[in-house]
């Protein structure tokens, strides 16, 4: 299964990337001082909310180098921007909440270093009395088998499901990967399609009986209810230990060997003990705190793959047998 192979190799490549990072970036704690210098950064808002604001301020205090978010003239947004704008050379520093897709030429040549862990969470309007859903219920919602909150123990009201357009966003791709083991999974029950994560979260804030998926780091900053998944809260400890199942890495993105020395400096700072401490203080799990999650993800995906869970092909085969 192609998706399984890609998923299996990806965490192993991340470990290799981390090792490579120590070879291609300065290992000393003496960072380049460039007071007044500005580095332009593009990437996903979830990563920005998770740690980039605090990490960039700590780096500026240390070096005088200011990192600012600048989308420029690019129409790209989110993780797509954080990968493709680095690949094409428009920006030198980016961030992404998904791995690059090497089969796509516009994403092939970037260099990604995992620096933190995030979680995909399901959010709803604060007035909704439902507190928790299961992974099976989430699958059924997106497949159109569950369409009313009453089926989840809530009020008799239609589920106003929100989703981002396309399948390449960080949340959209990760959601399909983690929930269905199928990057191309079609969602059946979507009632509101929005262009990016920000409008999705705002829509759920203002729409009773709504539901959508986003990153925990971003969801914390909204007036929404964050649902438990399988009765597990997506808090720091549950993400760190893998008790909350839908976790994923957050990456810094650069041009690798061709990156500006200041970009290399910043990546080195992010993965240093000092940088990881900054990330931890934001409430986000540093990547180095939970390297065991990489192997845990492989094991869980292996079980899902061997059982043939969640794939559209398997579902069609079951229908034929009936």
Looking at the fold, whether 35 and 135 belong to one and the same domain comes out as no
* Position 318 in a domain: no
Looking at the fold, whether 123 and 232 belong to one and the same domain comes out as yes
The CATH number covering residue 124 comes to 3.40.190.10
Looking at the fold, whether 59 and 78 belong to one and the same domain comes out as yes
Residue 308 scores a pLDDT above 50: no
Residue 257 scores a pLDDT above 70: yes
**Average pLDDT, integer, range 283-305:** 78
Residue 15 scores a pLDDT above 50: no
User: In this predicted structure, what is the pLDDT of residue 19?
Assistant: 38
Looking at the fold, whether 27 and 67 belong to one and the same domain comes out as yes
User: In this predicted structure, what is the pLDDT of residue 133?
Assistant: 97
Looking at the fold, whether 50 and 74 belong to one and the same domain comes out as yes
Looking at the fold, whether 147 and 236 belong to one and the same domain comes out as yes
Rg of the chain on CA atoms, in Å: 20
How many Å apart are CA 216 and CA 238, to the nearest integer? 12
Task: Indicate the pLDDT class of residue 45, thresholds 50, 70 and 90.
Answer: confident
What is the tens place of the pLDDT at every residue in 22-34? 333 334 456 666 6
Residue 315 scores a pLDDT above 60: no
Residue 71 scores a pLDDT above 70: no
Residue 320 scores a pLDDT above 50: no
* Beta strand segments in the chain, E: 38-43, 66-69, 93-96, 111-124, 132-133, 160-164, 192-194, 210-215, 225-226, 228-229, 247-254, 285-286
Looking at the fold, whether 82 and 183 belong to one and the same domain comes out as no
Measured in Å, how far apart are the chain's first and last C-alpha atoms? 24
What is the tens place of the pLDDT at every residue in 108-167? 888 899 999 999 999 999 999 999 999 999 999 999 999 999 999 999 999 999 998 888
Q: Which residue has the higher pLDDT, 74 or 278?
A: 278
Domain assignment of residue 273, given as a range: 2-115+247-297
* Position 307 in a domain: no
Looking at the fold, whether 42 and 186 belong to one and the same domain comes out as no
Q: Which residue has the higher pLDDT, 246 or 321?
A: 246
* Position 316 in a domain: no
* Position 46 in a domain: yes
User: In this predicted structure, what is the pLDDT of residue 14?
Assistant: 39
User: In this predicted structure, what is the pLDDT of residue 75?
Assistant: 58
Looking at the fold, whether 280 and 216 belong to one and the same domain comes out as no
Q: For residue 114, what are the β-bridge partners?
A: 251
Residue 4 scores a pLDDT above 50: no
* Position 77 in a domain: yes
* Position 303 in a domain: no
Query: Could you tell me the pTM of the whole model?
Result: 0.80
User: In this predicted structure, what is the pLDDT of residue 189?
Assistant: 87
Looking at the fold, whether 73 and 60 belong to one and the same domain comes out as yes
Residue 17 scores a pLDDT above 70: no
Calculate the CA dihedral of residues 29, 14, 287, 243 and round it to 10 degrees.
-170
Looking at the fold, whether 123 and 111 belong to one and the same domain comes out as no
User: In this predicted structure, what is the pLDDT of residue 305?
Assistant: 54
User: In this predicted structure, what is the pLDDT of residue 5?
Assistant: 32
Nearest to 253 by CA among 86, 97, 109: 86
Looking at the fold, whether 132 and 208 belong to one and the same domain comes out as yes
User: In this predicted structure, what is the pLDDT of residue 279?
Assistant: 96
How many Å apart are CA 143 and CA 121, to the nearest integer? 18
Task: Indicate the pLDDT class of residue 91, thresholds 50, 70 and 90.
Answer: confident
Long-range Cβ contact pairs of 311-319 (< 8 A, separation 24 or more)? 311/180, 311/181, 311/182, 312/180, 312/182, 312/184, 312/185, 312/186
User: In this predicted structure, what is the pLDDT of residue 301?
Assistant: 59
Q: How many domains does the chain have?
A: 2
**Average pLDDT, integer, range 55-72:** 87
* Position 252 in a domain: yes
Long-range Cβ contact pairs of 156-159 (< 8 A, separation 24 or more)? 157/208, 157/209, 158/191, 158/209, 159/189, 159/191, 159/209, 159/210, 159/211
What is the tens place of the pLDDT at every residue in 195-252? 888 899 999 999 999 999 999 988 988 999 999 999 999 999 999 999 999 999 999 9
* Position 163 in a domain: yes
């Amino acid at each position: 299964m192609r998706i399984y192979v890609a998923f299996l190799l990806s965490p192993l490549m991340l470990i290799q990337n981390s090792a490579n990072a120590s070879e291609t970036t300065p290992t000393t704690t003496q960072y380049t001082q460039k007071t007044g210098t500005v580095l332009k950064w593009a990437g996903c808002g979830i990563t920005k909310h998770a740690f980039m604001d605090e990490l960039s301020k700590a780096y500026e205090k240390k070096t005088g180098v200011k990192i600012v978010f600048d989308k420029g003239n690019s129409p790209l947004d989110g993780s797509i921007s954080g990968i493709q704008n680095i690949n094409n050379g428009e920006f030198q520093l980016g961030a992404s909440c998904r791995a690059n897709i090497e089969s796509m030429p516009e994403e092939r040549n970037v260099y990604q270093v995992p620096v933190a862990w995030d979680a995909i969470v399901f959010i709803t309007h604060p007035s909704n009395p439902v507190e928790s859903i299961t992974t099976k219920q989430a699958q059924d919602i997106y497949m159109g088998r569950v369409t009313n909150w009453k089926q989840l123990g809530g009020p008799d009201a239609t589920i106003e499901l929100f989703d981002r357009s396309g399948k390449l966003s960080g949340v959209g791709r990760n959601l399909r990967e983690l929930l269905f083991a199928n990057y191309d999974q079609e969602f059946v029950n979507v009632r509101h399609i929005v262009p990016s994560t920000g409008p999705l979260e705002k829509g759920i804030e203002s729409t009773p009986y709504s539901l959508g998926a986003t990153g925990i780091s971003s969801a914390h900053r909204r007036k929404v209810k964050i649902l438990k998944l399988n009765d597990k809260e997506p808090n720091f400890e549950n993400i760190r230990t893998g008790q909350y199942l839908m976790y994923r890495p957050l990456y810094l993105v650069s041009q690798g060997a061709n990156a500006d020395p200041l970009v290399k400096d910043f990546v080195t700072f992010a993965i240093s003990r000092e940088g990881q401490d900054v990330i931890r203080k934001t409430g986000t799990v540093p990547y180095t705190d939970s390297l065991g999650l990489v192997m845990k993800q492989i094991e869980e995906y292996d079980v899902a793959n061997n059982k043939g869970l969640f794939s559209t092909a398997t579902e069609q085969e079951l229908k034929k047998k009936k």
